[in-house]
Amino acid sequence: MVLLELKNIEKGYPDGTQALRGVSFSVHEGEFIAIMGPSGSGKSTLLHILGFLDSPTKGEYRFDGKTMQDYAKDELARIRNKKMGFVFQAFNLLPRTSVLENVKLPLLYSGIKESLRNEIAQRAIESVGLSNRVRHESSQLSGGEKQRVAIARALVNNPAVIFADEPTGNLDSKSGQTIMEILQWLHEEKGYTIILITHETYTAEHAQRIIRLLDGKLESDTKIINQHRARNQFEK
């Protein structure tokens, strides 16, 4: 089933900058896509449109069978919270707040009973191997641990898609490899749809398919033979 589809997406700005130029592709449920390109190629702009954080100037974006224009503003916010999980390069955690409270944050707006929130959050934390850090403040964690918290937070509402924006960009190679193994495990073993934004080839190679952008245009869309094996050393 097609989860999201873009048709001739363009994004321009008042100063004349054209960030996206006629981008078209679709993503099926359960796919792992990497979007690559140099700085200025339109990767971040595209991610913002896919995540309902921005809207295109022209073209059509369909998510879960409906165009972006079909959703009211409050619906867009609800979908971002319930059907989309976000993992950012800068982690975006609350610094003087515990791991548990950080991961629970999306549940505050989901309508889930308060009595169930701890249990759901703790399961997500366990899946990324941080059960021993539940009460620690995020400021006490290493970079790799912070990104694992961010992944747990992205999982708590069991989203339809996880957007990972340069998730290894602030990490050393060992921690980055751990993050990619977790994401690949979530895709292969748990069936999550994942869209990864990256400029690193070794990171992109964990995906099934690589989309390359250049100067706002889709340069190539290639399926790859995955040489990596999904492995989550934290899963018991």
DSSP 138-192: GGGS-HHHHHHHHHHHHHTT--SEEEEESTTTTS-HHHHHHHHHHHHHHHHTT--
Compute the CA torsion angle 52, 31, 46, 160 (nearest 10 deg).
Answer: 10
- Which strands, in side-by-side order, build the sheet including 161-165? 84-88, 161-165, 193-197, 32-36, 209-214, 217-223
Nearest to 51 by CA among 208, 166, 160: 160
pLDDT in tens, 34-45: 999 998 899 999
- In this predicted model, which residue has the larger pLDDT, 109 or 170? 170
pLDDT at 50 over 90: yes
pLDDT in tens, 84-123: 999 999 999 998 999 999 999 999 888 788 889 999 999 9
pLDDT in tens, 128-145: 999 999 999 999 999 999
**Whole-angstrom distance between the N-terminal and C-terminal Cα of the chain?**
31
Q: How far is CA 16 from CA 19, 20, 55, in A?
A: 9, 12, 17
Q: Are strands 217-223 and 209-214 parallel, antiparallel or unpaired?
A: antiparallel
Q: State the sign of the Cα–Cα–Cα–Cα dihedral 48, 2, 125, 106.
A: positive
Q: Are strands 32-36 and 217-223 parallel, antiparallel or unpaired?
A: unpaired
Top-level class of domain 2-93+161-235: alpha beta
